[in-house]
Amino acid sequence: MKAANTLLVLLLAIACFGQKPEIHGPDIYGAKPNRPFLFKIPATGALPISYEIYGLPDGLQVDKSTGIISGSCPNIGIYQTIVLAKNSLGADTLFFDIHIGNVALTPPMGWNSWNVFGLRVTDKDIRNAADVIVSSGLINHGWTYINIDDGWESAERLPNGEIAANDKFPDMVALSDYIHSKGLKFGIYSSPGPKTCGGYLGSLDHEEQDIKTYEKWGVDYLKYDLCSYAWQTKGLKKEAIQAPYILMNKFIQNSNRDIIYSLCQYGLANVWEWGASVGGNSWRTTGDIVDTWASVQRLLNKQKKLAPYAQPGHWNDPDMLVLGVVGWNDDSRKCRLTEDEQRLHFTMWSMLSSPLLLGCDLTKIDPFTMSLITNDDIIALNQDRLGKQAVLLEEKGKIQVWKKELADGSFALAFCNLGKKGKFTTYDLAKATTKACKTTKDLWTALKTDVRDNKLTVAIPTHGVVVVKVK
């Protein structure tokens, strides 16, 4: 583990050596009034970088050496600020809106323990993840949440009914402080039923008490997983499934923290139609992902009609990423997708405005995976403030063409090849827009091309993707 980490830090140092600062990440961020505010400005470049922000609203301040904005802002409003990041080689600026009043204005990005540690997860695994997010520089590309999934709960509640963590998590407050001290955020998992999917204690009849405990622990994100509640309810009617989510939302909204509310109920009762109305910042649209092409393809195909339901603050969630070293039991392994399949997986989850949650052992992360998840052009599609999920424009045989509209008036086109043979295809851009297209940029090769005759020719590898930004 040590050697892998040292290699990463070295690669990072080489990548940033001699570079001017570059600010990444969204150009809007939201929080509720009077709640703790925490946002790290993601920026790469040779260190040290110093940060300044003009127009910060009352109650917020920025740490000039880390770019971490903290504090608490009392007044609802949209505050237009200018962020300046500079080092000895130059500077970068960003017009950055701070929206006090709403959260999750772009999809949450971070890491979750489930897809690699399963129920074995420990405090050490969580701290390691937080350490590597910082040491590898992932934090500088917007990766923020560090979420514990199932497996942290004690077998019994305390005599006063409070939930406690099991022996693997000796001190939740210390863990949360550790994560926050790095400018990262802390997520947790529970179920509305008596038991979680892994058989641990759920929140049934203790909902308000659990939110109070999460406040004490400094929780920023709750994944609320239906599990045993579904076995308990009489059938899986919409109202029965909605009820526990409505109940928990009441306590989340009344809490003294911004807690991102992630609904997990596998898409039952067309959750995308009502997830936002019960307070969900995201909702799972599918069953669990695994690291196979069949799984990625199945989940992708289930998103074809869901674009109308995504909007800033409320996102469809086709489950977490399976890139890098994954595995659920004692079988962690390099993910079984080919490189092209991984590229397609990451590209399409970004195009779909899905929450981006890594699910790998970050201490074993390899250069290829790093190259995927630090591609700022792809991440920018996901974090675009317009918040429009990609729509399927065309499906011919095994070729799908998806379009994502972007805030600057441009759009991205992703050509997915779900077939077993590589494919050349010429696409008439008039099918994607009525405007004249001038240039395209391939977001994996960075190649810019002038558009001729309003047509675009792409070579798409088998199970691969070509994604271009069209201006």
Residue 196 is a binding residue for ligand GLA (CB under 6 A): yes
From the CB of 316, what's the least distance to ligand GLA, in Å? 15
Region of 77 please: left (phi>0), alpha (psi -120 to 50) or beta: left
From the CB of 453, what's the least distance to ligand GLA, in Å? 47
Residue 384 is a binding residue for ligand GLA (CB under 6 A): no
Residue 310 is a binding residue for ligand GLA (CB under 6 A): no
**Among 28, 94, 197, 278, contact with ligand GLA (rule: CB under 6 A):** 197
Stretch that binds ligand GLA, among 79-87, 192-200, 231-239, 380-388 (CB under 6 A): 192-200
Residue 150 is a binding residue for ligand GLA (CB under 6 A): yes
* Residue nearest ligand GLA, Cβ-based: 197
> In this complex, which beta carbon is closest to ligand GLA, that of residue 225 or of residue 384?
225
Residue 145 is a binding residue for ligand GLA (CB under 6 A): no
Active-site residue, selected from the candidate residues 92, 125, 225, 291 = 225
Stretch that binds ligand GLA, among 155-163, 169-177, 193-201, 455-463 (CB under 6 A): 193-201
> In this complex, which beta carbon is closest to ligand GLA, that of residue 50 or of residue 154?
154
> In this complex, which beta carbon is closest to ligand GLA, that of residue 51 or of residue 117?
117
Residue of 364, 278, 363 whose CA lies nearest to 314: 278
From the CB of 306, what's the least distance to ligand GLA, in Å? 18
**Among 97, 288, 339, 377, contact with ligand GLA (rule: CB under 6 A):** 288
From the CB of 264, what's the least distance to ligand GLA, in Å? 5
Stretch that binds ligand GLA, among 178-186, 191-199, 237-245, 295-303 (CB under 6 A): 191-199
> In this complex, which beta carbon is closest to ligand GLA, that of residue 149 or of residue 258?
149
From the CB of 323, what's the least distance to ligand GLA, in Å? 16
Residue 271 is a binding residue for ligand GLA (CB under 6 A): no
Stretch that binds ligand GLA, among 14-22, 42-50, 195-203, 363-371 (CB under 6 A): 195-203
Residue 198 is a binding residue for ligand GLA (CB under 6 A): yes
Residue of 189, 194, 272 whose CA lies nearest to 230: 194
**Among 39, 51, 96, 114, contact with ligand GLA (rule: CB under 6 A):** 114
Tell me how many residues contact ligand GLA (CB under 6 A): 9
Residue 51 is a binding residue for ligand GLA (CB under 6 A): no
> In this complex, which beta carbon is closest to ligand GLA, that of residue 39 or of residue 152?
152
Under a CB-based contact definition with an 8 Å cutoff, are residues 422 and 459 in contact? yes
> In this complex, which beta carbon is closest to ligand GLA, that of residue 115 or of residue 342?
115
Three-class DSSP labels, the chain: CHHHHHHHHHHHHHHHCCCCCEECCCCEEEECCCCCEEEECCEECCCCCEEEEECCCCCEEECCCCCEEEECCCCCEEEEEEEEEEECCEEEEEEEEEEECCCCCCCCEEEECHHHHHHHCCHHHHHHHHHHHHHCCHHHHCCCEEECCCCCECCCCCCCCCCCECCCCCCHHHHHHHHHHCCCEEEEEECCCCECCCCCECCCCCHHHHHHHHHHHCCCEEEEECCHHHHHCCCCCHHHHHHHHHHHHHHHHHCCCCCEEEEECCCHHHHHHCCCCCCCCEEECCCCCCCCHHHHHHHHHCCCCCHHHCECCEEEECCCCCCCEECCCCCCEECCCCHHHHHHHHHHHHHCCCCEEECCCHHHCCHHHHHHHCCHHHHHHHCCCCCCCCEEEEEECCEEEEEEECCCCCEEEEEEECCCCCEEEEEEHHHCCCCCCCEEEECCCCCEEECECCEEEEEECCCCEEEEEEC
What does the block give as tokens for 196? 């979680």
Residues from 18 through 47 that contact ligand GLA (CB under 6 A)? none
Residue 149 is a binding residue for ligand GLA (CB under 6 A): yes
**Among 92, 153, 225, 384, contact with ligand GLA (rule: CB under 6 A):** 225
> In this complex, which beta carbon is closest to ligand GLA, that of residue 51 or of residue 145?
145
Active-site residue, selected from the candidate residues 97, 131, 288, 340 = 288
Known active-site residue 220: no
From the CB of 325, what's the least distance to ligand GLA, in Å? 18
> In this complex, which beta carbon is closest to ligand GLA, that of residue 267 or of residue 313?
267
Three-class DSSP labels, 246-287: HHHHHHHHHCCCCCEEEEECCCHHHHHHCCCCCCCCEEECCC
Known active-site residue 225: yes
Which residues form the interface with ligand GLA (CB under 6 A)? 114, 149-150, 196-198, 225, 264, 288
What amino acid positions are annotated as catalytic residues? Answer: 225, 288
